Structure 1
């Protein structure tokens, strides 16, 4: 038994040596070639007026490379500054069908990012280089380079995921950790209800590390350091930012009124506190006596003034046109606010009770749903 085991072991070792020898011979004998891909479109110095909000694309095409062992070549397309050498490309793209496609389609939005990475500024134009690298998994071949001219529109190439306001003029002061966040409405679009005093402010994309700084200059969002506040005394604003267009607006909130349907007028004016909250303290709630009973309906009316001095009245109320009366068990969704029409009775809420002293809060906070709160004392 012992002799047989040794013989089997020896035979196994011989087989392994044979296999390794065969494998080594196969590796040593591998030879392959790959031809250089050649660029075909777009033509050199083609000018592309970028429109990131559209569905437009730029398609880069090349004549395929061929390999000596008839395998499919794989491609990647790299982009660099006009004077770059592709050692540190600003962008690398891979065709959708790896090993099959000899083209790459990039949206204008993506091309706008490439332009920005290459140092082309908003509303400016400049050139980028591109080339194709083909590979069969063993060796690579590189095409010549193409030149493309890109003209950027207004707007940031890449929108911030978050925006905060800070500075001596703001509610949080110059302490970055106390910066007030904007509410994100959609990609690149933000809104904030806040107050500003005299002093300076700036906007940042984060409150830790090294944030990007933004300022508003004549209604345009730009990267920059702090600028002077539009206010000389404490003033409440709605600030709207659109990074897609690099536009910004300051709208002064002059007043927020608690409006009763039955009386058809504002019965109490709320006072701005902080962080997008207006308050009314010890407000008497008396329903309007009507021939058919008492009317308990209400909503809010907000007076705004734009930068040109134009006055606008906005109504904030319920999403429900004909609402039910609030109770102690009404869900939080009952009190949510949305802009509604100026009708006397539609899209209103209904007070749960009458009271000599009631606290009202009108909340347009960036960190929560727009809503309101009623507290009977």
Structure 2
């Protein structure tokens, strides 16, 4: 009886195994090539504006048809004018993770593509594009390709995401690990408040080895290992660069910084540059101005530069007392030369006392200042 049970057990196991066996079929990878390219038109001309985040170009084409109606994935491939797409310089997956017969490409990416195809900044050239359809391991280039004429503006196809100042003329010297970091204002735009002494300086996108190097030549930014030479005495400077258009926006000497009191329409004291974007004063006597309605305590700061006077003040047109306010009350913002608007107010305890003022234009956060009553 025990032997019979074993035989029946083996028989049922064989039946179970045979019933679990799947019907295997070969995967159909056959696919038709992409049909007509619809957009943009052949020989279309595009003036690129990579600094505009909203600037885009849409590409559209007729869908490919697989033999079994399965899923087809698409890539738009770009090559140099005259290229055969054997090794495209750039490929972009279509919308919908590759399943839609269209894709929207930013002017920023098209600028990169133009550069890869040998089109220099401030130049116009041609690139070719087609669509590659794929299913599983089978990829089939489109039957049609088109040409685009791309006009690049002045600027870099790949703008740095960070920027540093280094060299013997800088506060940190030649040690790349100590390079001074710029404040990033927006994509490709940087500024720094610093001092420069006799020597040379250079720009880099990395505080260490292996970074890209840049230098200013007149009003242009160029990539390369050249340096800018500084002569004369040590001076404070404001430097601003826009890599989107490869331009030196501003490079001005900051000659002096004054504490401007509105009621007197005059600067009541001066601040001296210390280091790392910081200016500080000694003791400055403060006396609120007596009007018929009360005593006035409003102030802001005046930066005297080689390009003229710039004022830094509050984002609030009409301000309140600083007592009990948050740190943002003291943030520094570019303001107009209006005598009264966008000013701060001294702490009431400062009346007929002396104060020490400090401005911090360091790159680590918001520009700010402090007033300490002595």
Name the TM-score, length of structure 2 as normaliser.
Answer: 0.86
CA distance in 2, matches of 1:175, 1:4: 85
Contact 1:298 1:349 in 2 (8 A): yes
Distance across 2 between alignment mates of 1:330 and 1:107: 43
Alignment correspondent of 2:92:
93
Aligned to 1:16: 17
The match for 1:332 is 327
Task: Map 1:1-377 onto structure 2 (within 5 A).
Answer: 3-4=4-5, 7-17=8-18, 19-20=20-21, 22-24=22-24, 26-27=25-26, 30-31=27-28, 33-41=30-38, 42=40, 45-53=43-51, 55=54, 57-82=56-81, 86=85, 88-97=87-96, 101-137=100-136, 139-144=138-143, 145-229=145-229, 231-248=231-248, 249-289=250-290, 294-306=295-307, 312-327=308-323, 329-352=324-347, 353-354=349-350, 357-377=354-374
Checking the alignment, whether the CA contact within 8 Å between 2:284 and 2:354 is kept in structure 1 is: yes
Q: Is the 8 A contact 1:167 1:226 kept in 2?
A: no
Q: CA deviation at 1:53?
A: 4.4
Secondary structure of the 2:114 match is helix
Cα distance in 1 for partners of 2:314, 2:59 equals 52
Q: CA 1:72–1:336 in 2, change beyond 3 Å: closer, same or farther? A: closer
Preserved contact between residue 195 and residue 237 of structure 2 (Cα < 8 Å):
yes
CA gap 1:10/1:129 in 2 versus in 1, 3 angstroms = farther
Classify 1:62/1:356 alpha carbon distance in 2 versus 1 (closer, same or farther; 3 Å): closer
Between the aligned partners of 1:331 and 1:77, the Cα distance in structure 2 is 52
Structure 2 gap segments, 5+ residues each: none
The alignment's TM-score, normalised by the length of structure 1, stands at 0.85
> Cα distance 1:175–1:62, how it changes in 2: closer, same or farther (>3 A)?
same
Q: CA separation in 2, counterparts of 1:31 and 1:315? A: 71
Provide Cα deviations, 1:242-266, integer angstroms capped at 9, x if missing partner: 1222111212211110122333311
Pairwise CA RMSD: 2.8
Match of 1:112, SS state, is helix
